[in-house]
Protein backbone atom coordinates (compact mmCIF):
# COMPACT_ATOMS: atom_id res chain seq x y z
CA UNK A 1 0.00 0.00 0.00
CA UNK A 2 1.30 3.41 -0.94
CA UNK A 3 0.99 6.67 0.95
CA UNK A 4 -1.61 7.83 -1.59
CA UNK A 5 -3.61 4.61 -1.16
CA UNK A 6 -3.67 5.15 2.60
CA UNK A 7 -4.63 8.82 2.26
CA UNK A 8 -7.48 7.80 -0.08
CA UNK A 9 -9.06 5.90 2.83
CA UNK A 10 -11.36 8.29 4.68
CA UNK A 11 -11.98 6.56 8.04
CA UNK A 12 -9.01 6.84 10.40
CA UNK A 13 -8.15 6.52 14.07
CA UNK A 14 -5.30 8.38 15.74
CA UNK A 15 -3.84 6.47 18.67
CA UNK A 16 -2.15 8.95 20.97
CA UNK A 17 -4.49 11.80 20.09
CA UNK A 18 -4.50 14.46 22.79
CA UNK A 19 -6.20 17.70 23.78
CA UNK A 20 -2.78 19.36 24.22
CA UNK A 21 -2.62 21.57 21.13
CA UNK A 22 1.19 21.73 21.03
CA UNK A 23 1.53 17.93 20.72
CA UNK A 24 1.67 15.99 17.45
CA UNK A 25 -1.21 13.77 18.60
CA UNK A 26 -3.44 16.85 18.50
CA UNK A 27 -1.98 18.35 15.31
CA UNK A 28 -2.41 15.10 13.35
CA UNK A 29 -5.96 14.52 14.59
CA UNK A 30 -6.92 18.12 13.76
CA UNK A 31 -5.23 18.04 10.34
CA UNK A 32 -7.07 14.87 9.30
CA UNK A 33 -10.36 16.28 10.55
CA UNK A 34 -9.77 19.60 8.77
CA UNK A 35 -9.12 17.67 5.53
CA UNK A 36 -12.54 16.00 5.73
CA UNK A 37 -11.56 12.64 7.17
CA UNK A 38 -13.82 10.72 9.53
CA UNK A 39 -11.25 10.46 12.31
CA UNK A 40 -11.53 8.99 15.78
CA UNK A 41 -9.17 10.00 18.61
CA UNK A 42 -7.92 7.15 20.81
CA UNK A 43 -6.28 7.76 24.17
CA UNK A 44 -7.24 6.10 27.47
CA UNK A 45 -6.16 9.21 29.38
CA UNK A 46 -8.29 11.78 27.52
CA UNK A 47 -12.11 12.02 27.46
CA UNK A 48 -12.61 14.54 24.66
CA UNK A 49 -10.74 16.64 22.12
CA UNK A 50 -12.35 19.84 20.90
CA UNK A 51 -15.69 18.48 22.09
CA UNK A 52 -15.29 15.13 20.29
CA UNK A 53 -15.37 11.89 22.29
CA UNK A 54 -11.92 10.41 22.75
CA UNK A 55 -12.07 6.62 22.97
CA UNK A 56 -9.95 4.54 25.36
CA UNK A 57 -9.05 1.91 22.74
CA UNK A 58 -9.64 0.86 19.14
CA UNK A 59 -12.10 -1.77 20.37
CA UNK A 60 -14.32 1.00 21.79
CA UNK A 61 -14.71 2.83 18.46
CA UNK A 62 -18.18 2.87 16.86
CA UNK A 63 -16.63 1.80 13.52
CA UNK A 64 -13.54 -0.09 12.41
CA UNK A 65 -11.16 2.42 10.82
CA UNK A 66 -9.38 1.69 7.55
CA UNK A 67 -6.12 3.26 8.77
CA UNK A 68 -4.73 3.67 12.27
CA UNK A 69 -2.17 6.42 12.81
CA UNK A 70 0.28 5.71 15.64
CA UNK A 71 1.55 8.63 17.74
CA UNK A 72 2.50 6.51 20.75
CA UNK A 73 5.54 5.01 22.48
CA UNK A 74 6.90 1.58 21.67
CA UNK A 75 5.11 -0.49 24.34
CA UNK A 76 1.74 1.04 23.47
CA UNK A 77 2.47 0.51 19.78
CA UNK A 78 3.12 -3.18 20.29
CA UNK A 79 -0.17 -3.56 22.16
CA UNK A 80 -2.04 -1.54 19.51
CA UNK A 81 -0.82 -3.90 16.79
CA UNK A 82 -2.49 -6.78 18.64
CA UNK A 83 -5.72 -4.79 18.72
CA UNK A 84 -5.45 -3.96 15.00
CA UNK A 85 -5.01 -7.66 14.21
CA UNK A 86 -7.99 -8.63 16.37
CA UNK A 87 -10.20 -6.02 14.66
CA UNK A 88 -9.04 -6.85 11.13
CA UNK A 89 -7.37 -3.47 10.56
CA UNK A 90 -4.74 -4.00 7.86
CA UNK A 91 -3.13 -0.58 7.46
CA UNK A 92 -1.15 1.32 10.08
CA UNK A 93 0.64 4.63 9.69
CA UNK A 94 3.64 5.10 11.96
CA UNK A 95 4.58 8.69 12.67
CA UNK A 96 8.26 9.48 13.20
CA UNK A 97 9.13 8.25 16.69
CA UNK A 98 6.42 5.58 16.68
CA UNK A 99 8.32 3.53 14.10
CA UNK A 100 10.55 1.60 16.48
CA UNK A 101 12.16 -1.58 15.07
CA UNK A 102 10.14 -3.85 17.37
CA UNK A 103 6.89 -2.23 16.23
CA UNK A 104 7.92 -2.52 12.57
CA UNK A 105 8.91 -6.16 12.98
CA UNK A 106 5.69 -7.12 14.74
CA UNK A 107 3.57 -5.34 12.12
CA UNK A 108 5.51 -6.98 9.29
CA UNK A 109 5.23 -10.43 10.85
CA UNK A 110 1.46 -9.87 11.16
CA UNK A 111 1.24 -8.97 7.47
CA UNK A 112 0.02 -5.43 8.08
CA UNK A 113 0.51 -2.67 5.52
CA UNK A 114 2.85 -0.17 7.18
CA UNK A 115 3.39 3.44 6.19
CA UNK A 116 6.29 5.30 7.82
CA UNK A 117 5.91 9.01 7.28
CA UNK A 118 4.42 12.17 8.74
CA UNK A 119 0.77 12.77 7.88
CA UNK A 120 1.31 16.51 8.35
CA UNK A 121 3.84 16.46 5.52
CA UNK A 122 1.84 14.21 3.20
CA UNK A 123 -1.56 15.90 3.32
CA UNK A 124 -1.78 18.70 0.74
Q: Express each pLDDT in 3-51 by its tens digit.
A: 999 999 999 999 999 999 999 999 999 999 999 999 999 999 999 999 9
Instruction: Name the band, by pLDDT with cuts 50, 70 and 90, for residue 57.
Output: very high
Average pLDDT of the chain is 96
- pLDDT score at 31: 97
CA 2, 3, 6, 9 dihedral sign is: negative
DSSP SS3 for 5: helix
Q: How far apart are CA 101 and CA 86, in angstroms?
A: 21
Q: How far apart are CA 69 and CA 43, in angstroms?
A: 12
Percent of the chain with pLDDT over 90: 98
Q: How far apart are CA 104 and CA 32, in angstroms?
A: 23
H or E element at residue 83: helix 74-87
pTM of the model: 0.96
pLDDT value at 98 more than 80: yes
Amino acid sequence: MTIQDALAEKVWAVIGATHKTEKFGYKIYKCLKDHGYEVYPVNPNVTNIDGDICYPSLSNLPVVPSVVDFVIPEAAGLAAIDECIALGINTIWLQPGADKPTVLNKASEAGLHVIQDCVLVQLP
